[in-house]
Amino acid sequence: MSAYLRALRLVNFRNYVDATALLAPGLNIVVGENAQGKTNLLEAIAFNVTGSSPRTPKENEVVRWGADFTRTEARVALDGSTDERSVAIGYAPGQKKRITVDGASATSLTEYAAGGAGARVVTFFPDDIRVVKGAPSDRREFLDALLSSLRPAYARAALEYAKAVAQRNQLLRRIRDGFSSGRTLATWDRKVVDLGKTVLAGREAALPVLEEHFKDSLRTLYGPEKAAIRYGYSATLEEYSEALREAHSADVERGTTSVGPHRDDFEVLLGGVNLTTFGSQGQQRLATLALKFAARDYVREAVGEDPILLFDDVMSELDERRREYLAGYFLESTQAVISTTNLEYFDDEVLRRTRIIRISGGSILETATDGVRK
């Protein structure tokens, strides 16, 4: 059995002052009215397990209004045995996060994010529809986050690549504006290509595997139409160095690097149609879900463990047949924590096997194991 969370304590996290959620393996349903803290609880789990918020890059937002720090603590049950790990994150805006695993400080955030907590997560927030609907950067972010959570070497390459591109861009502008002779441009090209190739190779290796899982998931969720993911290169591995060199004068003029994995995209296709441009809201939503399920399968294959599923308000826009399918899917997973305003979405048989966590105004009111509807 894979790792799961037994308990999470939240101190000064979003609208929580100090609350503890007791979680069970299998399905956990967080229920409450709107704006009571359901999403925040899911976010806190991801924050604790990965070291950063899946919802916002402006992390000072997670600190409760008026408080100067936040702290989350989780107890992680490892491989179903009695073996337990306790992981905690303390964060005050402007300071480095204090991450501890069984009381010892973690060496780095990157390393912690790649499984340091002993568990991994796959999250779904309604806004994630932008992975299908939104800009290329949203799709790159999805891919990079998934690969970074599995391979610290990829995470570092992606980070260093972004830095090298920023340096090269600044150099291009300095050349354009007459502040630099450009003697070092070939050097920065080489540095950019070295790191960019690691990123590109990582994505190339992952995409066919991810695509297979995506096809399977979308077939179940949507129908028999042929789904595909197609990577859109600004330059392939073989052409990369050459393409970057050829772009020199255009890049100097624009002051940005026009070729490389930071400009790539992938198309999400259904029946040959690009869902980003032509998909309906419903198709985009189901394709997003299918991508998240594919990410789950990808993680499971890569590390041999199920990630914890954190799915926010996933039921409300689905029809009954799909809600039933999803409920079964979550019940069968090692651990899923999902949120809803409405327990009517689930039949009694499902609720009997579910832990229900009631939320109101940033308090966890009760945790019921019997799943009796009230």
Partner 1 sequence: MATYARPVERLITELSKLPSIGPRSAQRIAFHVIRGKKEDAIGLAEALKEVKEKIKPCRRCFNLTEADECEICRDARRDRSVICVVEDPYDIGPIERTNEYRGLYHVLGGALSPLDGIEPEDLRIAELIERVRNEGTGELVIATNPNTTGEATALFIAQEVKDLPVRVTALASGLPVGGDLEYADEVTLGRAFAGRREL
Answer yes or no: are the C-beta atoms of 20 and 75 closer than 8 Å: no
Q: Does 180 bind partner 1 (CB under 8 A)?
A: yes
Least spacing, CB of residue 24 vs partner 1, in Å: 31
Give the residue, chosen from 20, 56, 60, 107, that forms a contact with partner 1 under the rule CB under 8 A.
Answer: 107
Answer yes or no: are the C-beta atoms of 265 and 113 closer than 8 Å: no
Q: Does 170 bind partner 1 (CB under 8 A)?
A: yes
Stated as kind and residue range, the H or E segment containing 104 is strand 104-105
Give the residue, chosen from 46, 114, 290, 310, that forms a contact with partner 1 under the rule CB under 8 A.
Answer: 114
Least spacing, CB of residue 203 vs partner 1, in Å: 17
Nearer to partner 1 by C-beta: 106 or 131? 106
Give the residue, chosen from 17, 80, 93, 179, that forms a contact with partner 1 under the rule CB under 8 A.
Answer: 179
Answer yes or no: are the C-beta atoms of 16 and 70 closer than 8 Å: no
Look up residue 251 and give its two tokens: 């890049």
Give the residue, chosen from 20, 56, 60, 187, that forms a contact with partner 1 under the rule CB under 8 A.
Answer: 187
Considering only CA atoms, give the Rg of the chain.
Answer: 22
Residue ranges in 191-250 that form contacts with partner 1 under rule CB under 8 A: 191
CA distances from residue 305 to 150, 153, 202, 213 in whole angstroms, order as listed: 11, 20, 20, 16
Least spacing, CB of residue 122 vs partner 1, in Å: 21
By rule CB under 8 A, what count of residues binds partner 1?
27
Nearer to partner 1 by C-beta: 34 or 181? 181
Least spacing, CB of residue 56 vs partner 1, in Å: 26
Question: Taken in order 203, 206, 207, 210, is the CA torsion positive or negative?
Answer: negative
> What is the DSSP code (8-state) at residue 333?
S
CA distances from residue 113 to 50, 174, 176, 213 in whole angstroms, order as listed: 4, 36, 39, 23
Q: Does 97 bind partner 1 (CB under 8 A)?
A: no
Beta-carbon contacts of 361 under 8 Å, excluding residues fewer than 6 positions away, are: 15, 36, 37
The candidate with the shortest Cα–Cα distance to 343, out of 333, 355, 334, 335, is: 355
Query: How far is Cα 248 from Cα 246, in angstroms, rounded to an integer?
Result: 6
Give the residue, chosen from 53, 100, 167, 256, that forms a contact with partner 1 under the rule CB under 8 A.
Answer: 167
Nearer to partner 1 by C-beta: 100 or 170? 170
The candidate with the shortest Cα–Cα distance to 195, out of 287, 138, 256, 257, is: 257
Q: Does 81 bind partner 1 (CB under 8 A)?
A: no
Interface with partner 1 by CB under 8 A: which range of 17-25, 64-72, 168-176, 325-333?
168-176
Q: Does 372 bind partner 1 (CB under 8 A)?
A: no
Q: Which residues of the shown chain bind partner 1 in the complex (CB under 8 A)? A: 107-108, 110-111, 114, 152-153, 156, 160, 163-164, 166-168, 170-171, 174, 179-181, 183-184, 186-188, 190-191
